[in-house]
Amino acid sequence: MNKENPVKIKFYNGEDIPLELHKVRIVQKLHLVPIERRLEALYEGGFNTFGLKTTDIFLDMITDSGVNAMSDNQLAAMMQADDAYAGSQSFIRMQKAVEDVLGQKYLLPVHQGRAAENIIACAYIKKGSLIPMNYHFTTTLAHITQYGGRIVELLYDEAYKTTSSHPFKGNMNIEKLEGIIIKEDASNIPFIRMEASTNLIGGQPFSIQNLRDVKAIADKYGIRLVLDASLLGENAYLVKQREPEFAEYSMGEIIQIMTGMADIVYFSARKLSSSRGGGICTNNDKIYREMEPLIPLFEGFLTYGGMSVREIEAIAVGLYETLDETMISQSPDFIRYLVNSATEQGVPMITPPGVLGAHVNARDICKHLDKREYIAGAFAAAFFLISGVRGMERGSLSNQRDEYGNETYADMELLRLAVPRRVFTLSQIKYVIDRLVWLNENRELIGGLKFVYEPPVLRFFMGRLEPVSDWPQKLIAKFKEDFGDSL
């Protein structure tokens, strides 16, 4: 019996599998094209999964952002949206949802999560400011440095171990935090940032006890605490699963304990409520006033912030749905199944399973590849070739070169396979595991990649690469040998 299953559904035969607690009422046809076409698509897309088109993709696991399934109630709400430049009823409904679910009185609407980061950075970061955080997200770092700030990442060493049983790898190192504040002087630290379900280290949560410790230090030195709540629902779900003190708490109670400790809560609604848009919220009217003028400047009027009223309605409903454990558990439970099954069959995965997606340790699989050959990028291309499944490279390809043009190699070479909420079925997840096991067993056939076009910024989005040898053709030959005429 799976003790972590919140809805406690046992199978008579003892099987431990997640069960879908929704029914599918609108579907989209998928394309599983032959492996030869997948190779052509790779050449057309520059061996970069961002260059692929969905007509060539079977399961799109590049992200969960903006692609979680929406509910019937969200779609219904979108139909009754109230279009108005100012004073829209839709915005009032979103404000109420933010107050009811996140416990925050004031709401500043923004067009997506990175826009919230821009506003917060613009309001509080001066040249030389230092922002301690558990770990950065790409857009967060970009906005902080854009305004002349610096960051320091304060995870415990355990977080950098690819295989671990630590339940809260997203925890902030409290001793280091206090040390940094003393060294730097609190006046140079406008805020401390905690990211719920730390994305780039494998969607790993922090505990409420850790947040309490961070809050105590923030209060001691009079520093604001900012919570990136984009993956808050999943972090709350894992708190319920893994932090014994909260085992009997409701999702709503856990969420409000977390948001209640922050001075500023911001979120990407592309993740938090399965739609589009975002928001910044607070209970502090001074903080609200400090950021308020920036919304019309960067985003739009205070009652839409660059979002359509339909999106605003969907966010309001989606926020309430975050409180439903049968909904919020779906993606983490499927990820756990994927990670545990793949691990049992010998595939090196990041453990413990986190949220947002399953992360494959490409460096451990491709030990024969040189780090200059973009290990995770090559693995992502190879996996698409043999499965039609698109993941996202999270390794050195996603890094920028240093100021002298040298490569900076990433801490980890990962393939992220996102599992958006209520999008994939269990048989599709089983297919992903099956192809991962096959590729791991044929790993010696995977070769490296080299750039043919390398853009100066954010090269992982637009960059074009090619294989360093004819390894894709050799991989296809072995695939045909083992799978015959199977797609």
The yes-or-no answer on residue 96 being catalytic is: no
Cβ proximity of 350 and 278 under 8 Å: no
If the CB atoms of residues 195 and 373 are measured against ligand F0G, the closer one turns out to be 195
Residue at 25: amino acid letter: R
Look-up: residue for tokens 């280290």? Answer: 201
Largest Cα separation within the chain, whole Å, is 67
Stretch that binds ligand F0G, among 3-11, 225-233, 323-331, 456-464 (CB under 6 A): 225-233
The yes-or-no answer on residue 394 being catalytic is: yes
Q: At its nearest, how many Å lie between ligand F0G and the CB of residue 278?
A: 6
Q: Does 199 bind ligand F0G (CB under 6 A)?
A: yes
Cβ proximity of 141 and 119 under 8 Å: no
Q: At its nearest, how many Å lie between ligand F0G and the CB of residue 230?
A: 4
Q: Does 151 bind ligand F0G (CB under 6 A)?
A: no
* CA–CA dist 422, 70 (Å, integer): 9
Sign of CA dihedral 132, 419, 462, 119: negative
Q: What is the per-residue binding string for ligand F0G in 246-285, x denoting contact by CB under 6 A?
A: ----------------------x-x-------x-------
Look-up: residue for tokens 């906005």? Answer: 143
Q: What's the distance, Cα to Cα, between the start and end of the chain in Å?
A: 35
Stretch that binds ligand F0G, among 98-106, 119-127, 223-231, 233-241 (CB under 6 A): 223-231
Name the residue whose CB lies closest to ligand F0G.
Answer: 113
Instruction: Choose, from 3, 85, 286, 485, the residue flagged as catalytic.
Output: 85
Residue at 192: amino acid letter: I
If the CB atoms of residues 357 and 472 are measured against ligand F0G, the closer one turns out to be 357
Cβ proximity of 320 and 274 under 8 Å: no
The yes-or-no answer on residue 228 being catalytic is: yes
If the CB atoms of residues 193 and 443 are measured against ligand F0G, the closer one turns out to be 193
- Options 4, 56, 60, 228; binder of ligand F0G; rule CB under 6 A: 228
CB half-sphere exposure, 376, CA atoms < 13 A: 24
- Options 114, 215, 450, 478; binder of ligand F0G; rule CB under 6 A: 114
Q: What is the per-residue binding string for ligand F0G in 177-196, x denoting contact by CB under 6 A?
A: ------------------x-
The yes-or-no answer on residue 242 being catalytic is: no
Stretch that binds ligand F0G, among 40-48, 75-83, 111-119, 302-310 (CB under 6 A): 111-119
CB half-sphere exposure, 321, CA atoms < 13 A: 28
Nearest Cα to 154, choosing from 213, 233, 86?
213
The yes-or-no answer on residue 50 being catalytic is: no
* CA–CA dist 317, 90 (Å, integer): 11
Q: At its nearest, how many Å lie between ligand F0G and the CB of residue 268?
A: 3
Nearest Cα to 305, choosing from 338, 267, 264?
267
* CA–CA dist 84, 309 (Å, integer): 8
Q: In what order do the strands lie in the sheet with 278-282?
A: 106-110, 278-282, 264-268, 224-228, 191-195, 130-133, 150-153
- Options 2, 139, 284, 442; binder of ligand F0G; rule CB under 6 A: 139
Instruction: Choose, from 38, 193, 270, 271, the residue flagged as catalytic.
Output: 271
CB half-sphere exposure, 290, CA atoms < 13 A: 17
If the CB atoms of residues 208 and 356 are measured against ligand F0G, the closer one turns out to be 356
Q: At its nearest, how many Å lie between ligand F0G and the CB of residue 337?
A: 21
- Options 135, 137, 191, 206; binder of ligand F0G; rule CB under 6 A: 137
If the CB atoms of residues 416 and 443 are measured against ligand F0G, the closer one turns out to be 416
Cβ proximity of 464 and 51 under 8 Å: yes
Instruction: Choose, from 47, 137, 206, 304, the residue flagged as catalytic.
Output: 137
- Options 68, 74, 88, 112; binder of ligand F0G; rule CB under 6 A: 112
Q: At its nearest, how many Å lie between ligand F0G and the CB of residue 477?
A: 34
Q: Does 65 bind ligand F0G (CB under 6 A)?
A: yes
Cβ proximity of 131 and 144 under 8 Å: yes
Sign of CA dihedral 416, 326, 342, 25: negative
Tokens of 45: 């897309």
Residues forming the site for ligand F0G (CB under 6 A)? 63, 65, 112-114, 137, 139, 195, 199, 228, 230-231, 268, 270, 278
Residues tagged active-site = 85, 137-138, 228, 271, 394, 460
